[in-house]
Amino acid sequence: MIVLGIESSCDETAAALVRDDGLVLADVVSSQVALHAPYGGVVPELASRAHMQNIVPVLQGALDQWEGKLADVDAIAVTNGPGLVGALLVGVQAAKAIAMARDLPLVGVNHLIGHLMSVYLHREGDDHRAPQLPFIALVASGGHTALYEVRSADDVEQLGQTRDDAAGEAFDKVAKLLGLGYPGGPRIDKLAAQGDGESVALPRPLRRRGNLEFSFSGLKTAVAQHVAKHGRPEGEQATADLCASFQGVVVDALVEKSLLACTLREVPRLVITGGVAANRGLRARAAERAAELGIDLHVPPPRSCTDNAAMIAYAGACRLRGGANDGLDLPVFSRSPILGAPEGSPARKRYRSMRLPRA
């Protein structure tokens, strides 16, 4: 089965063709980084308009890369939440139009489930090693930071999440404080590699034993107070030292909480994914600590960690194999329910959804 995946939840317009065993046949992403950089973050209205301009060229680009035709596609999978509603609508309506025109099955995919399943993506020639189930997973990105126990694509339990800022959001805000531009994560990561992580004392939040939640707002405030007191660091080395100190705290929190979850759940397998998983400091520290504790660590390649449609296509394939078909009544939702919460519970109901008329 070949699935066409579409992703437009935030500021990446993406399309991919993936076989149901996870083999990526085509993967095209159109980034809006340059569009949003002057504003220091994603502007929802601009993102939606850019998705409208990019969706058809991106879809055509994926088909051209695959050297196939829509007639050879077996099903459609599309991100239907969480994300920016205006951005989501572009991808969902494009998916509905194709599904209706070609009479194809259509399934919606929770963006977070897509990240969790990205570890199963592989490409021709890859030395790919997929984790056994169950596994503990950390999803860390600009909009999400949470820990999960994954027993299958449709059996996922959330163990903890950030109480305030996501890790990627904290990187972007600190980069803005330091005048490093947007997006902040790659810039801080590059500078941190040259800095002394012990040079600036910063608070380490929620370090209580057994706590699987995160908090990065206080850390961001501590950096802001440091800059207010001492001014922006003068010179590249001083900037690198502050970046290394900040990144060290974030990385320590992400890695140690993830490994603690493995211990508490007695699951010796850890997956780290999401845009922040492209951070070299995080990847190195996670590999070091996992080896010390005998934890089997899996981190997808950076191109599979950041937002992409290949992960959506594969997660959709998992749903399709289980008999799912959402059809043209597929809704979109801006906030995700807590994964693993019982149906009908307050946690499951705690999100905004929008059901669209049939295309």
| Two structure tokens written together for 87 | 């951005």
- pLDDT the model gives residue 264: 95
- Rounded distance between C-alpha atoms, residue 250 and residue 219, angstroms: 9
- Residue 129 domain-assigned? no
Do 142 and 282 reside in the same domain of the chain? yes
Do 8 and 113 reside in the same domain of the chain? yes
Q: How many CA atoms lie within 13 A of 232 on its CB side?
A: 9
Q: What is the dihedral of CA 111, 116, 120, 125, to 10 degrees?
A: 80
- pLDDT the model gives residue 126: 82
Do 58 and 111 reside in the same domain of the chain? yes
Q: What angle do CA 261, 264, 267 make, to 5 degrees?
A: 75
- Residue 128 domain-assigned? no
pLDDT (tens place) for every residue of the chain, 359 residues total: 999 999 999 999 999 999 999 999 999 999 998 999 898 889 999 999 999 999 999 999 999 999 988 999 999 999 999 999 999 999 999 999 999 999 999 999 999 999 999 999 999 888 888 999 999 999 999 889 999 999 998 899 999 999 999 999 999 999 999 999 888 999 999 999 999 999 999 999 887 767 899 999 999 999 999 999 999 999 999 999 999 999 999 999 999 999 999 999 999 999 999 999 999 999 999 999 999 999 999 999 999 999 999 999 999 999 999 999 999 989 998 877 677 666 566 555 555 555 554 54
- Residue 281 domain-assigned? yes
Is 184:172 a contact under the CB 8 Å cutoff? yes
256, 283, 299 - which closes a domain? 299
Do 198 and 175 reside in the same domain of the chain? yes
- pLDDT the model gives residue 341: 66
Q: Which backbone phi and psi does 352 adopt, to 5 degrees?
A: -95, 130
- Residue 208 domain-assigned? yes
Do 101 and 47 reside in the same domain of the chain? yes
Do 174 and 283 reside in the same domain of the chain? yes
- pLDDT the model gives residue 39: 87
Do 258 and 200 reside in the same domain of the chain? yes
- Rounded distance between C-alpha atoms, residue 51 and residue 87, angstroms: 7
- pLDDT the model gives residue 359: 42
299, 322, 345 - which closes a domain? 299
Q: Tokens 């995080």 correspond to what residue?
A: 282
CATH number at residue 52: 3.30.420.40
299, 324, 344 - which closes a domain? 299
- Residue 74 domain-assigned? yes
- pLDDT the model gives residue 339: 74
Query: How many C-beta atoms surround the C-beta of residue 152 within 10 A?
Result: 10
Q: Which backbone phi and psi does 78 adopt, to 5 degrees?
A: -140, 140
Do 207 and 329 reside in the same domain of the chain? no
Is 253:279 a contact under the CB 8 Å cutoff? no
Do 159 and 287 reside in the same domain of the chain? yes
Domain that holds residue 267: 135-299
| Two structure tokens written together for 353 | 């959804």
- Residue 359 domain-assigned? no
How many domains is the chain built from?
2
- Rounded distance between C-alpha atoms, residue 66 and residue 15, angstroms: 11
Indicate the pTM of the whole model.
0.92
Do 146 and 189 reside in the same domain of the chain? yes
Do 160 and 247 reside in the same domain of the chain? yes
Do 293 and 309 reside in the same domain of the chain? no
- Residue 127 domain-assigned? no
